[in-house]
Homo-oligomer: A and B are copies of this chain.
Amino acid sequence: MPKSNKSLVLPVPPLFIILSGPSGVGKDAILTRLKAEKNSLQFVTTMTTRPRRPAEIDGVDYRFVTKAHFEKLMAKNELLESANVYGNWYGVPKQAVRDALDKGKDVIVKVDVQGAATIKKIAPEAVFIFLMPPSLEELGNRLRLRYTEKPPELAVRLQAAQDEMKQVSRFDYVVMNNSGGINEAASRIKAIITAEKCRVVPRRIILP
């Protein structure tokens, strides 16, 4: 008979959470909300070569880097995923994710649907969450309100969103981001994290 006072609490490996969804669905708003709360999440910021928008902060919204710098990291295979979207490069720095996971911290990254597909191949044990707009009409309204897209680019993004929505089956979870429902969407994401930590068969992330 084993020692009866032995703790039955099992160590839970850290999670690697991929938050994705079409452009304009509200990924940034969700991340901002999660960042404002007390939780154990480590946010790894995506690098991009796209120009910074006036309201954006380097290192918070994105890490804005030059094309030369980005390509150097790509050549060294130091990006977890990289994709050219609308002419700009986006990528998740691998080392930052590895460092956080090594410290036992749960990592969350925001990537477009194309990026999520790439990460899925490298780290299939990550938790893939697709943020879904209530409707395409609503998504169009949000993109228009953002003032950053000119009408032709807007049409491209809406068409892309339709294509991206077809990729939802590759994800583990789909979270609706209803109008005014940032709190609800954020709390669903937190519930997913809690539930994932209770899995009998934990996900084990091994990054190459």
User: Using a CB–CB distance below 8 Å, which chain A residues touch chain B?
Assistant: 1-2, 4-10, 129-130, 132-137, 140, 158, 162, 165, 168-169, 171-176, 187-188, 190-192, 194-196, 198-201
Interface of A is mostly: mixed
Interface pairs A-B: 5 shortest CB-CB: A195-B195, A191-B194, A4-B136, A5-B137, A191-B191
* Nearest CB of B to A19, in Å: 13
Given known pairs A176-B9, A188-B198, the reply for A4 and B169 (CB within 8 Å) is no
* Nearest CB of B to A166, in Å: 11
Task: Flag if A135 contacts B5 (CB, 8 Å).
Answer: yes
Task: Flag if B195 contacts A136 (CB, 8 Å).
Answer: no
Q: Considering the complex, give the chain B residue whose CB is closest to the CB of A189.
A: B198
Task: Flag if A7 contacts B200 (CB, 8 Å).
Answer: no
Task: List the B side residues contacting A158 at CB < 8 Å.
Answer: 4
Given known pairs A4-B140, A200-B168, the reply for A10 and B195 (CB within 8 Å) is no
20 A-B pairs with C-beta separation under 8 A: A1-B162, A4-B135, A5-B137, A6-B135, A8-B165, A8-B176, A10-B174, A168-B200, A169-B201, A173-B198, A173-B199, A173-B200, A174-B200, A187-B194, A188-B194, A188-B195, A191-B194, A192-B198, A195-B195, A195-B196
* Nearest CB of B to A162, in Å: 7
CA of A169 to CA of B176, assembled, Å: 31
Task: List the B side residues contacting A176 at CB < 8 Å.
Answer: 8-9
* Nearest CB of B to A150, in Å: 19
Q: Considering the complex, give the chain B residue whose CB is closest to the CB of A5.
A: B137
Given known pairs A1-B162, A191-B191, A194-B191, the reply for A134 and B199 (CB within 8 Å) is no
